[in-house]
A = this chain, B = another copy of it.
Amino acid sequence: MASLETAAAAPALDISWEDRFAQRMQGLTGSVIRELLKITERPEIISFAGGLPAPEVFPLAEIEAATRKVLEEHGAQALQYGATEGYAPLRELLVRHMARYGVKLTPANVLVTTGSQQALDLVGRLFLNPGDHVVTEEPTYLGAIQAWRAYQAEFLTVPADDAGMRVELLEEELRRGPKFVYVLPNFQNPSGATLSSQRRQRLVETANLWGVPIVEDDPYGQLRYEGAHLPPLLALDASLPGHVRAGHAKGGGVIHLGTFSKTLAPGLRVGFIVAPEEVVQRLAQLKQGADLHTSSLCQMVAYETARGGFLDRHVRQIRRVYGQRRDAMLRALERHFPGGVRWTRPQGGLFLWMTLPPHLDSAKLLDESLRDAKVAFIPGTSFFPNGGGRETLRLNFSYCTPELIEEGIGRLAGLIRRHVANAAR
């Protein structure tokens, strides 16, 4: 009965979930961005804000045909519960796909996820307790910050430049015992930077030496518009063939995240994790508690659309369209923008990164831009887990046509030129 007495003394009323929520969601970045994206749905706004694929490149006819085939030939399976690990033919397709990079896997190394956002969530769920540390590039992907703040992680950041994370500064952060290192090696979101070959090698070696797993997030790797493909960290991680070392002393291991959102369609919500088998097993159990499994219909449609070489052909078309849009944005920036503003020149992906003169605040500029120029972008602060980046912003070039890009960049440049001129006075 002692427990009952204690219980009676305990507060029956507890509103701390609201406080805890506020704490976990510090900065409310997610809701700010969601509100912003709602504004950008207004037809008069030219939006460089979202990370949306262009609907013109959705393989609609092929997805229609695949869906028809799936429902006609495997309807009961597409509508029924499925294995938490994912649809077997899709996992096998991913194994074949990764083999191109010299990565030898079995389907037991693959977990299908509900978009790669769920992959970030599951990784957090497996590795993070409140107060645990995660190393990221600075700036880094907003969705990862959101996913891991929910587990009350603390972020250790490593500065990045045009060749990605400055890996020579990583060891200092590894001394603090982080649970993993998170990196987007190709056409990083938000910076557009690509991690150089040398740094890839050094990153894998350093993390292995310290026994810290690397979480390699590669949603854009296929979307390269110039230059040669660089090997994924997964391929560089010599420890992988053993499939047993993630999180162990003898090597950190690489957990590789991918998605069909940028190569087929995000509305399917089909992503994947490639990892050592013992990690996949645990992630699968966590996924079972999170959503049982990813939509059978969507997985089967993704597989049926992607297979037989279609995905590769389709990716070539996306590269052409987005490459033109990147070029259009770079040309417009050069034509319209004043001195004192810098931007990156990504070799692929969806985004470039702009740095304004230090006296400008991109969040304030956004209000003005939405009102006067009718142009949207994402202020850079959202991508700095520990603050900073006030004078930076992210521009998406995949969603708007080249004509709209030219128009929108022109309007944005006009606004910024006024501020730069005012400051010079």
Tell me the complex Cα distance, A286–B148, Å.
11
Tell me the complex Cα distance, A84–B291, Å.
15
Task: Check if A419 is an interface residue, CB within 8 A of chain B.
Answer: no
A285: chain B residues within 8 A (beta carbon): 21, 25, 28, 30-31
CB of A320 to closest CB in B, whole Å: 19
Tell me the complex Cα distance, A120–B247, Å.
29
Choice from B11, B117, B130 contacting A289 with Cβ under 8 Å: B117
- From A210, which residue of chain B is reached at the shortest CB distance? B12
Q: Are B291 and A12 in contact, with the CB atoms below 8 A? A: no
Given contacts A177-B12, A266-B79, A291-B114, whether A4 and B172 have CB atoms under 8 Å apart is yes
- From A65, which residue of chain B is reached at the shortest CB distance? B71
Q: Are A297 and B267 in contact, with the CB atoms below 8 A? A: yes
Task: Check if A98 is an interface residue, CB within 8 A of chain B.
Answer: no
Q: Are A7 and B266 in contact, with the CB atoms below 8 A? A: no
A28: chain B residues within 8 A (beta carbon): 285
CB of A133 to closest CB in B, whole Å: 9
Say how many copies of this protein the assembly contains.
2
Task: Check if A81 is an interface residue, CB within 8 A of chain B.
Answer: yes
Tell me the complex Cα distance, A63–B76, Å.
11
Q: Are B79 and A10 in contact, with the CB atoms below 8 A? A: no
A388: chain B residues within 8 A (beta carbon): none
Q: Kindly supply a per-residue 1/0 record for chain A positions 115-132, scoring 1 wherever the CB is within 8 Å of any chain B CB and 0 otherwise.
A: 101101100011101100
Q: Kindly supply a per-residue 1/0 record for chain A positions 162-188, scoring 1 wherever the CB is within 8 Å of any chain B CB and 0 otherwise.
A: 000000000010111101000000000
Q: Are A10 and B76 in contact, with the CB atoms below 8 A? A: no
Q: Are A174 and B290 in contact, with the CB atoms below 8 A? A: no
Residues in A1-49 with C-beta less than 8 Å from chain B = 3-4, 7-8, 10-18, 20-21, 25, 28, 30-31, 34, 38
Q: Kindly supply a per-residue 1/0 record for chain A positions 123-154, scoring 1 wherever the CB is within 8 Å of any chain B CB and 0 otherwise.
A: 00111011000000000000100110110000
Task: Check if A378 is an interface residue, CB within 8 A of chain B.
Answer: no
A-B contact pairs, 8 of them (CB 8 A): A7-B177, A10-B176, A15-B247, A18-B247, A52-B80, A67-B67, A115-B291, A150-B289
Residues of A within 8 A of B (CB): 3-4, 7-8, 10-18, 20-21, 25, 28, 30-31, 34, 38, 50, 52-53, 55, 58, 60, 63-64, 67-68, 71-72, 75-84, 114-115, 117-118, 120-121, 125-127, 129-130, 143, 146-147, 149-150, 172, 174-177, 179, 210-212, 247-249, 261, 264-269, 281-282, 285-286, 288-298, 301
